Homo-oligomer: A and B are copies of this chain.
Amino acid sequence: MATHAERNHLLVATFAETLELRDWEAFAALLAPEVVYEIPQTREVIRGRDRYVRFNAEYPGEWHVTPEVIVAEESNASMLFRWALDGESSLAIVFFEIDDGLIRKITDFWPEPYEPPPGREHLAERT
């Protein structure tokens, strides 16, 4: 029998898969009705399953989600994923709070490229 952690790992994989397939019915079935979605960088919060599904369904552009790492425990999980939008690709991160097989809270991060501060060239290469 699968542990909670194993089931949550699969839940996150299915989250990514149903997003990629635009299978909004299957996607919604993973979410608690009162799910909360947050982007700390913009201070945006979306409350409720219907609004959050709509946010994704309405997201403009030709976008793709490809999981790179999924890590899950009993109540928390995270995913590092490649996000491609209109031919440009970057890495993004999402954390999940999961209870009783449903996603209750989603926290998304969209890191942008930046120039490193000076003073560490003696330690770091750049690829």
Contact = CB atoms under 8 A, between A and B. Distances in A.
A43 B125 CA distance: 8
B116 A44 contact: yes
> Copies per complex?
2
Contact of A60 (B47, B110, B119, B123): B119
A73 B124 contact: no
A39 B120 CA distance: 13
Contact of A109 (B42, B52, B93): B93
The winner among A47, A54, A71, A72 for most chain B CB atoms within 10 A is A71
B93 A42 contact: no
Contacts of A70: 76
Interface string A67-79: 0011111001110
